């Protein structure tokens, strides 16, 4: 079997298992041992399933150092991933309200959270530097893949929806400039905050809530039947990012926590992207395929649900003066 070359800046380490499901995936990729563990009774939002599903998805991204790249399309890996996805998707659908009123669900996102109930509000108003740096670590799992899972929906769209989504992605990928790719801007932020910039370097340190957000994007992107959910998620992310990014700029300025350029870039860009996605992408998609309205609503509400779980985890630990990570950063808490 071919072994993936170790190239600086690409590929992640196989993760530390957090239970039998994630151990089974690691053993499959490392040793070729076919999984034989039951999946149906797993906690859909627990640590074990989150890591197992993320590990199944990673061969579609940068892959794992030392792991044969042919695993990406292994029927054994895909079958086990599908069993994990059934548990995760079913729980997501059971956790959110269903509907077909896309305009109403987008309008709900425009209602700002009560001050103090959002992570960016907390960091802007009362957070400490150690909490800001922890937040950067959490989000690195997301932003190392920024815009990548959304690109999978491009071949599933037509006409204006496709053209408009590509225009947004062009901005996300730096307008053709490598140094302005948003994932690179986040690495620059990590470097300016004295944090590890390596791809998924902190994966073993972050808990399930943030991993679940990334898994949702991967699942939506990799399944054509979920194209409506993906554009709903993408629009929801763009609608909520600009105001939260503005608060993060203020938090960084107040705490002196690194270069705010990554967030400043999102304040203006995502305000424009919001309109493009709502009207040109979602609007044109539903004009062509009106039956996808329920999936668009699902994508929006699933995003809000998982982001809410992440926010609740982070704020509950910080208010108890505890680390929100599985392993606190060097320098400790407080």
Whole-number pLDDT of residue 116: 56
CA distances from 180 to 4, 9, 244 (A): 28, 16, 20
Whole-number pLDDT of residue 115: 58
Whole-number pLDDT of residue 111: 73
User: What is the Cα–Cα distance from 51 to 34, expressed in whole angstroms?
Assistant: 17
Residues 235 and 297: beta-carbon distance below 8 Å: no
Whole-number pLDDT of residue 100: 97
pLDDT tens per residue, range 260-297 = 999 998 887 666 788 889 899 999 999 999 999 999 99
The percentage of residues in the chain with a pLDDT greater than 70, rounded to a whole number, is: 94
- CB neighbour list of residue 10: distance below 8 Å, 6 or more residues apart: 62, 63, 199
DSSP three-state, residue 12:
strand
Whole-number pLDDT of residue 5: 39
Whole-angstrom Cα Rg for the chain: 19
Whole-number pLDDT of residue 113: 60
Domain boundaries, the chain: 20-94, 100-318
CA distances from 234 to 57, 142, 229, 302, 311 (A): 19, 13, 9, 11, 19
- Of the chain, the end-to-end C-alpha distance in Å amounts to 48
Residue segments in the chain with a per-residue pLDDT below the cut of 70: 1-10, 112-116, 269-271, 334
Tell me 43's DSSP state. Answer: -
DSSP secondary structure of 227-273: HHHHHHHHHHHHHHHHHHHHHHHHHHHHHT-S-THHHHHHHHHHHHH
Whole-number pLDDT of residue 296: 98
Query: Fold for domain 100-318?
Result: Heme Oxygenase; Chain A (1.20.910)
pTM of the model: 0.94
Whole-number pLDDT of residue 40: 94
pLDDT tens per residue, range 27-72 = 999 999 999 999 999 999 999 999 999 999 999 999 999 999 999 9
């Amino acid at each position: 079997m071919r072994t993936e070359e170790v190239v600086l800046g690409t590929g992640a380490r196989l993760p530390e298992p957090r239970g039998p499901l994630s151990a089974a995936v690691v053993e499959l990729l490392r040793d070729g041992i076919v999984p034989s563990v039951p999946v149906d009774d797993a906690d859909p939002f627990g640590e074990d399933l989150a890591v197992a599903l993320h590990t199944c998805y990673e061969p579609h991204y940068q892959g794992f150092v030392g792991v044969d790249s042919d695993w990406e399309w292994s029927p054994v890996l895909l079958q086990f991933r599908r069993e994990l996805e059934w548990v995760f998707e079913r729980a997501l659908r059971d956790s959110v309200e269903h509907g077909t009123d896309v305009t109403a669900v987008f309008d709900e996102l425009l209602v700002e959270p009560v001050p103090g109930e959002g992570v960016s509000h907390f960091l802007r108003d009362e957070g400490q530097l150690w909490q800001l740096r922890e937040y950067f670590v959490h989000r690195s799992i997301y932003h190392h893949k920024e815009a990548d899972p959304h690109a999978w929906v491009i071949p599933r769209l037509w006409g204006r929806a496709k053209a408009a989504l590509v225009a947004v992605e062009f901005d996300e990928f730096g307008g053709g400039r490598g140094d302005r790719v948003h994932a690179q801007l986040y690495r620059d932020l990590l470097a300016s905050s004295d944090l590890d910039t390596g791809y998924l370097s902190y994966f073993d340190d972050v808990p399930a809530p943030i991993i679940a957000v990334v898994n949702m994007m991967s699942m939506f992107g990799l399944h054509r039947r979920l194209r409506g959910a993906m554009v709903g998620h993408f629009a929801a992310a763009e609608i909520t990012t600009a105001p939260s990014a503005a608060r993060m700029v203020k938090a960084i300025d107040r705490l002196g926590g690194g270069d705010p350029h990554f967030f400043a870039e999102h304040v203006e860009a995502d305000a424009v992207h919001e309109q493009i996605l709502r009207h040109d992408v979602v609007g044109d998609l539903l004009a062509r395929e009106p039956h996808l309205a329920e999936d668009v609503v699902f994508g929006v509400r699933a995003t809000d649900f998982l982001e809410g779980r992440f926010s609740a985890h982070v704020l509950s630990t910080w208010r108890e003066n505890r680390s929100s990570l599985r392993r606190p950063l060097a320098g400790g808490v407080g």
